[in-house]
Structures are given as structure tokens and as C-alpha cells.
Amino acid sequence: MKITSFDRREFVSTTAKTGIALCGLCMCSPMASFAADDASGEEKIELAGRCFCGYTCPDDCAFLQATLQDDIELKKKVWQEWKIEEHYGVEFDPEQAICYGCTAMDKPKGIVLTRCTVRACAIEKDKACCIDCDELTACDKDLWQRFPDFKKQVIQLQEKYRSQA
């Protein structure tokens, strides 16, 4: 079954509204739903436009919107929804509550991007994203430990990507 772009937009919009949008690196469950649309469709897997982890951030991501609008209340809401204080042990700081997406190399980085081990690894290995990494299956980075179902889906994307090459 081919997934239409309307269905994808609806999927992304729904996940973003439930607070699990990740800008590549979401901090709350269920991470498992992120890659499902790509893994099941017949469309070619493209690495361009993906986060380093393999996720594609939606345009209406709450963290991106809070950053672009410099909306302190929305930043606080995202900080709580993404459980940033719980995960990183850092109280809310509007200067650290920013995200332009993990691949926006020329933009300021907030706490999520600066502490993302997947992002750091992909940059170090000069990979567009983990889908293109031979070590993905054995990788035990924090993101994969917290969201093992998401990792399984990224591995499925990797298998599909490699079969299309």
C-alpha cells in the first residue's frame, strides 16, 4: 500500500500534537511510531532532510515553533513534555530551550542537541544519518536504549535503504 503525502502529514501532525515530536531527538514515548510510515511504504528512502537518528522532524514541531517564536511559555511546555529536566538534570533555561533541528549546523544548539550522543557520533563519523552507518545494529547510544522500538524501525529503514541502492 502506498502512503499518500496527505496521510504522512496527518501522521506527523498527530504525533507532534501528542508531544512526541522529536526534532530527531524526542525525549518521551512512544518513539516507536516515528519511522513506521517510511518502513511500510514503497517510496525510496532518502537521507536528505532526516535527523541524524533517521527521524524527519515535522514543520509544526512544538520545539521548533517555540524557538522560532521565542515563546517562553511554549518552551516551558516542551521542556516538560520532553522531560528534559528529568533526562538531563537541568532546570528550565530559556537560553537552552532551543532547537532548529539537529542538522542545522549554522544555528545555535540547545541542551538536547549538545547532549545528543547519536548526533555527536554521526557528525564524528561524517554520516548523514544513522541509516547509513554499518554499526547501527550494535550501537548502544542513549537514544536507542531509551527507545528500542524506534531503533528497530530505524534498522528496518536501513535495510530498505540498502536494498534500494
Is pLDDT at 14 greater than 50 in this prediction? no
What integer pLDDT is reported at residue 127 of this predicted model?
96
DSSP state for residue 32 in the 8-state scheme: G
Among candidates 45, 22, 44, 35, which has minimal Cα distance to 151? 35
Is pLDDT at 37 greater than 90 in this prediction? no
Q: Which residues contact 58 (CB under 8 A, 6 or more apart)?
A: 12, 13, 15, 16, 21
What integer pLDDT is reported at residue 42 of this predicted model?
66
Which amino acid is residue 99, in one-letter code? C
**Other CB atoms closer than 10 Å to residue 165's CB: what's the count?**
5
Give the span between the Cα atoms of 74 and 160, in whole angstroms: 37
What integer pLDDT is reported at residue 69 of this predicted model?
96
> pLDDT band at residue 27, thresholds of 50, 70 and 90?
very low
Is pLDDT at 99 greater than 70 in this prediction? yes
What integer pLDDT is reported at residue 59 of this predicted model?
85
Give the span between the Cα atoms of 120 and 50, in whole angstroms: 15
At 102-141, the pLDDT tens digits run 999 999 999 999 999 999 999 999 999 999 999 999 999 9
Q: Supply the mean pLDDT for the chain.
A: 81
At 54-93, the pLDDT tens digits run 999 998 999 999 999 999 999 999 999 999 999 999 999 9
Residue ranges covered by each domain of the chain:
5-149
